[in-house]
Chains A and B, each alone.
Chain A
Amino acid sequence: MRTIVSLEDVSLHYHSKNGETPAVSHLNLEVFQGEFLSIVGPSGCGKSSLLSMLSGLLKPSSGTISIDGEIGYMLQKDHLLEWRTVKENALLGLEIKGMLTPENTSYVEHLLEQYGLGAFMEQYPSQLSGGMRQRVALIRTLAIHPDILLLDEPFSALDYQTRLTVSDEIGSIIRKEKKTAILVSHDISEAISLSDRVVVFSARPATIKNIHTIELSIGEHSPMQTREAPEFREYFNRIWKELDIHVESEKTTTS
């Protein structure tokens, strides 16, 4: 397997008037081409900081990040621009990158068609459901032909039921388009159901606590079906415990 992203001894510190906060500490991680990797960790542990570094928005304080490919970043909310049509929204990234060629435009149209938005191309985002909006956001990210997708809790703004379907949909789309994906989440089930590997982060400053390779006995499956696999619960409990230990220790320090 080809390594597409590698982190070597990466640390990140935030500076504010009140002092210096270590967000990420001596992180080593390799991501392979075509895999779906999830990162779970307690909230505020520096998961999002890691994505910001991978996307180049933040520079690591020390260590090296090497990325072999184009990055596509999907944010927590869809952030569709209300004054643009669905198609214009999907073309935003291409427009910014100056890649608005006829081929790319028809690729976006093709994606919209394929993922059930063909009839909505000339509509405005206010006319779409939460799940549809999230799909447009994904297509906007896919439009620039990224090799690696960064997903920053892209389902957390949705209600639970929509969330299940949307994560299922998005997961299927990403697999179908054969992209490498790095998902940040605090939802353990979501992480297990979507991923090939789940990385568990410690509380801030983030370090890797464990990496679980998800191997299920049910063969070809959608993320939703994964939840029915007998191993699912086992993975869940193990990851839960790894996260829980921290909550316990936090309780004792605060009380």
Chain B
Amino acid sequence: MWNQKKPPQVDISKEQSLFLDRIEKRKHRILWIQIALLVSFFVLWEVAAICRWIDPFIFSQPTRMFQSAIAMIQDGTLFYHVFTTLWETVVGFLLGTLLGTLIAVLLWWNPFVCDVLEPYLVVLNALPKTALAPIIIVWIGNNQKSIIAVALFTSVIVTIMNVLTGFLQIDQEKIKLIQVFGGSKMQTLKKVVFPANIPCILNALKINVGLSFVGVIVGEFLVAQAGLGFLIVYGSQVFKLDWVMLSVIVLAILAACMYQSIALFEKFLLRKRHL
């Protein structure tokens, strides 16, 4: 009477294995071309600098960047700047996501306040947040706190918008499910609305990594004390383009690593929660 699920098929036909092979081959080809593109970019850059097609003084060149990287690793300055930027970014996007989610919860809780604040949120969302960076620095001071505040501000509005949309898109029938058991609004939030939106919050976290980096770099440009943003601005002012280019590349690697680790964390959490 009670129907059970069928076990999955195990034996693979020849055509199926050929099909799987083709997919595998395509994947490999893509990876190799990606690596080749990267390598040839740097080789071309190096060759262009050696042959003086470009001026290495203003374009830098991979070997010079490598040398200054070694020097900066040896005297510890590179790690100092990297960790400064990393710290500010992590604090910025964690606070941004946390605060954004919290505000989204409050707005979901009170639809009237939500309707009142909606036009302001839309305008703030459209506004390039970095435009406010100088103001924030004037208010908070020329220090790391301002940089974190700028990073937080760049990510908080988007988080509110995304998470709130997620909250509001919850199936009304699922809310009814809680209500027919006599559940309160708090229980609706805790049992359904929040857990159902964990993917949405994790997605906000992913978006916020990038945004937080923008905020931090702009903040470091202005505060100009430490960090990769400072290195970029300072390097360009004293014509140490090796520093500038190196910083940009390190920043790219940093951002990619951060995004990947969030993506992994997301995958882990979603699998754990069977979403």
B1 at interface by CB-CB < 8 Å: yes
B173–A75 touching, CB < 8 Å:
yes
A115 at interface by CB-CB < 8 Å: yes
Cα separation A165 to B1 with both chains bound (whole Å)? 8
For A111-146 the 0/1 string (1 means CB < 8 A from B) is: 000011100000010111101100100000000100
B181 at interface by CB-CB < 8 Å: yes
B2 at interface by CB-CB < 8 Å: yes
Of all A-B residue pairs in the complex, the 8 with the closest CB atoms, nearest first, are A116-B2, A73-B180, A96-B181, A124-B274, A96-B183, A83-B273, A93-B181, A79-B177
Minimum Cβ distance to chain B for residue A230 (Å): 26
Known pairs A81-B192, A82-B275; A132 contacts B181 (CB<8 A): no
Contacts of B5 in A (CB 8 A): 127-129
Cα separation A75 to B182 with both chains bound (whole Å)? 14
Minimum Cβ distance to chain A for residue B228 (Å): 39
B274–A79 touching, CB < 8 Å:
no
Known pairs A124-B274, A165-B3; A83 contacts B195 (CB<8 A): yes
Minimum Cβ distance to chain A for residue B167 (Å): 16
Q: List residues 228-275 of chain B with CB under 8 A from any CB of chain A.
A: 273-275
In addition to A126-B274, A169-B2, 20 A-B residue pairs with Cβ atoms within 8 Å of each other are A71-B180, A75-B177, A75-B180, A76-B173, A79-B177, A81-B174, A81-B192, A81-B195, A83-B196, A92-B181, A92-B191, A93-B181, A96-B187, A127-B5, A128-B5, A129-B3, A132-B2, A135-B2, A144-B181, A165-B1
Cα separation A165 to B2 with both chains bound (whole Å)? 9
A1 at interface by CB-CB < 8 Å: no
Contacts of B173 in A (CB 8 A): 75-77, 79
Contacts of A95 in B (CB 8 A): 191
Number of interface residues of A (CB under 8 A): 30
Closest-by-CB residue of B relative to A166 is: B3
Contacts of A105 in B (CB 8 A): none
Q: List residues 144-175 of chain B with CB under 8 A from any CB of chain A.
A: 171, 173-174
Cα separation A127 to B8 with both chains bound (whole Å)? 12
Closest-by-CB residue of A relative to B5 is: A129
Can you sample 18 A-B contacts with CB below 8 Å?
A: A55-B180, A57-B176, A57-B179, A71-B180, A75-B176, A75-B177, A79-B173, A79-B174, A79-B177, A82-B274, A95-B191, A96-B182, A117-B2, A126-B274, A128-B5, A129-B3, A131-B3, A165-B3
Inter-chain contact total with CB atoms closer than 8 Å: 63
Known pairs A55-B180, A97-B181; A115 contacts B2 (CB<8 A): yes
Contacts of B195 in A (CB 8 A): 81, 83
Q: List residues 86-126 of chain B with CB under 8 A from any CB of chain A.
A: none
B181–A79 touching, CB < 8 Å:
no
Contact of B1 among A75, A129, A144, A169 (CB under 8 A): A169
B192–A97 touching, CB < 8 Å:
no
B48 at interface by CB-CB < 8 Å: no
Closest-by-CB residue of A relative to B4 is: A129
B82 at interface by CB-CB < 8 Å: no
Minimum Cβ distance to chain A for residue B25 (Å): 32
Contacts of A73 in B (CB 8 A): 180
Minimum Cβ distance to chain A for residue B160 (Å): 24
Contacts of A128 in B (CB 8 A): 5
Cα separation A162 to B166 with both chains bound (whole Å)? 32
Minimum Cβ distance to chain A for residue B88 (Å): 33
Chain A CB within 10 Å, residue with most, of B3, B5, B174, B179: B3
Known pairs A76-B173, A83-B195; A96 contacts B3 (CB<8 A): no
For B190-204 the 0/1 string (1 means CB < 8 A from A) is: 011001101000000
Cα separation A129 to B176 with both chains bound (whole Å)? 23
Cα separation A116 to B173 with both chains bound (whole Å)? 26
Closest-by-CB residue of B relative to A117 is: B2
B171–A79 touching, CB < 8 Å:
yes
Minimum Cβ distance to chain B for residue A185 (Å): 17
Minimum Cβ distance to chain A for residue B190 (Å): 10
